[in-house]
């Protein structure tokens, strides 16, 4: 299977060249186009109850599609919002993805839902997080560009809504950017404080900020 992420960073999409016996799991509605020979099987996203949980709390869809082909074929996957797509190559390690970030993975990857805690929810990062583990490639998407950062034992601050993914070795705390006054009137509100060791992925745009901006212009 050959995979290319095209049109980065604003309107990224994944071009997959499937060989016979290749299989790819993708988020429902991620397919933009495909060869006529590609077979698509729809199944619950990890069984009925896990699928419902992922839908309710993980921001993922109830179903996932499994793509395969008996002959060389092409498949294009994309995300519903403008932004970049990044590929992770899991080799027995794991990664947490924020709700809605998962796009596609190889069959060897396990998708699990993990309790993120009330703090994460209050910080606008969701009550649950998607845990991808096992072996294989995972593609995840962002709103805006994706950039990564290695975090050491020193604290690093990410504004709410900008965190896309992080390794399990990263500890997360929600706090205020400054004092009560500067946090709320400075427009930063609550922020996510991360501490390593580990790697985090961030997105350059923020959905909540966009919706707030639109809302402000509706009235």
Partner 1 sequence: MREMTDFSGGVFHTSLADGRAAAEIQVTSVGLVARTTDDQVFEIPFGECQLDVGGASGRMVFCRTHDRQLTIFCEHKEFPAALELESVGEVSDELARLFRRNRHEAHHWRMWLLATAAVLMIGLIGGYYTLLAVARASVHALPLSVDQKIGKLALEAMDFDGPPVNDPVVVDAVKQIVARLEPHTGLAGLTFEVRVIDSATVNAFCLPGGKVIVNTGLLKMAQSPEQVAGVLSHEMAHAVKRHGLQRVTESLGIVVAIELMVGDVGGLLALGVELGKTAALTSYSREHETEADLVGVRMLHAAAIDPLELANFFERLKKQDGDLPAAIAWISTHPQHDVRIAAIRGQLENLGPREYRDLDIAWEDVQQHLKPLQGK
Interface with partner 1 (CB under 8 A) = 91-93, 96, 116, 118-119, 122, 129, 150, 153, 166-173, 195, 197-199
Q: How far is the CB of 157 from partner 1 (least distance, A)?
A: 16
Instruction: Tell the smallest beta-carbon distance from residue 87 to partner 1 (Å).
Output: 13
Q: CA 156, CA 175: separation in Å to the nearest integer?
A: 12
The least distance separating partner 1 from the CB of residue 29, rounded to whole angstroms, comes to: 28
> Shortest approach of partner 1 to residue 19 CB, angstroms?
25
How many of the other CB atoms lie within 10 Å of CB of 200? 23
Ramachandran quadrant class, 50 (left: phi over 0; alpha: psi -120 to 50; beta: rest):
alpha
Residue placing its CB nearer to partner 1 in the complex, 96 or 139: 96
CB 96 within 8 A of CB 140: no
Closer residue to partner 1 in complex, CB, 16/95 = 95
Please compute Rg for the chain using Cα positions.
18
Tell me whether residue 58 or residue 83 sits nearer to partner 1 (CB atom).
58
> Judging by beta carbons within 10 Å of its beta carbon (0-12, 13-18, 19+), is residue 115 exposed, middle or buried?
exposed
168 vs 187, which CB is nearer to partner 1? 168
Question: Can you list the alpha helix ranges (DSSP code H) found in the chain?
Answer: 48-57, 118-122, 180-185, 207-218
CA-to-CA dists, residue 195 to 6, 27, 98, 152, 173, angstroms: 32, 30, 17, 7, 9
Q: For partner 1, which is the closer residue by CB, 26 or 172?
A: 172
Q: How far is the CB of 196 from partner 1 (least distance, A)?
A: 9
């Amino acid at each position: 299977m050959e995979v290319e992420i095209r049109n980065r960073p604003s309107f990224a999409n994944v071009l997959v060249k499937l060989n016979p016996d290749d299989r790819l799991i993708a988020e429902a509605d991620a397919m933009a186009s495909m060869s006529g020979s590609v077979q698509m099987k729809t199944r619950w996203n990890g069984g009925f109850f896990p699928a419902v949980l992922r839908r309710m709390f993980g921001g993922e869809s109830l179903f996932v599609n499994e793509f395969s082909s008996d002959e060389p074929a092409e498949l294009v996957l994309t995300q519903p919002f403008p932004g970049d797509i990044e590929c992770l190559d899991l080799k027995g390690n794991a990664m947490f993805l924020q709700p809605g970030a998962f796009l596609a993975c190889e069959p060897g990857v396990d998708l699990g839902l993990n309790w993120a805690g009330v703090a994460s929810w209050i910080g606008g990062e969701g009550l649950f997080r998607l845990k991808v583990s096992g072996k294989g490639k995972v593609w995840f998407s962002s709103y805006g560009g994706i950039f990564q950062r290695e975090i050491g034992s020193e604290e690093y601050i990410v504004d709410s809504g900008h965190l896309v993914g992080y390794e399990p070795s990263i500890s997360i705390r929600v706090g205020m950017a400054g004092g009560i006054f500067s946090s709320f009137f400075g427009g930063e509100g609550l922020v996510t404080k991360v501490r390593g060791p580990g790697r985090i992925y961030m997105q350059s745009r923020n959905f909540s900020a966009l919706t707030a901006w639109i809302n402000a212009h509706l009235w």
